[in-house]
Amino acid sequence: MFGDLEERINGIAAMIAADHYNVAQEPAFTSRLAQEIESELRRHPINKAGLRLEVATQDLGDRGPGALEKRVGADLYISLARRDRRPPVSKGMLMQAKWDITANDRKLGSQMQEMMARSEDAYVWFYGPTEIQCAKASDLMQNHVPFRSLTVGEMIVNGLRCSAGDVGIGRDLTLSRADGMRAQLAALRTPQGLSFAVVRNTK
């Protein structure tokens, strides 16, 4: 399951990077990437060994209940739930997006600090012309060179394997997915979310 997921996410990331590099704004690029991952995995679901993967995007919006007065820190919240486990596990990750050509943006330091004030599982995604590379914010803040670079697929799969992710920012699994995601987006002051859940097949 996870090897397939990693490969497919990386393929989507490469396609979106090739089509939109340095053309779309970073938030629009991030939104398109999240939506494409959701669409691909709904069109061609992953269903193996009695387990299936559920994927959905969530946008908090600019208006209405829970809308952000000020967007700070992360661009994307990623929810990682293992409903197949007893008890269920819910974790989260935060992500800030940057074009690779703006990696030295002076604002990035403060953005990483804002994310890390909420969670140590904070990452920066560097959008390049053929791929997207991920780095942990704590490594970048401490000037670890060379830093450990991940692909988008590897980062997400690590979370689903429970070798990464922060239970402190996991969504509330007693709520519906939509309500739980909205609550976390509002609490974390993050405009967009992407949720992954591994569940047992009931049939």
User: How many domains does one find in the chain?
Assistant: 1
For 156-196, the pLDDT digits (tens) are 999 999 999 999 999 999 999 999 999 999 999 999 999 99
How far apart CA 167 and CA 125 sit, in angstroms, is 21
- Residue 147's domain spans which residues? 2-200
The conformation of residue 166, written as its DSSP 8-state character, comes to: B
What's the whole-number average pLDDT of the chain?
A: 89
Among the residue ranges 62-71, 86-95, 101-110, 141-150, the one predicted with the least confidence is 62-71
| Per-residue confidence band for 40, with pLDDT thresholds at 50, 70 and 90 | very high
Helices and strands, number each (H, E), in the chain: 6, 8
| Per-residue confidence band for 145, with pLDDT thresholds at 50, 70 and 90 | low
| Number of Cα atoms under 13 Å in the Cβ half of residue 97 | 24
pLDDT higher than threshold 70 for residue 35: yes
Nearest to 140 by CA among 95, 194, 90: 95
How far apart CA 177 and CA 183 sit, in angstroms, is 10
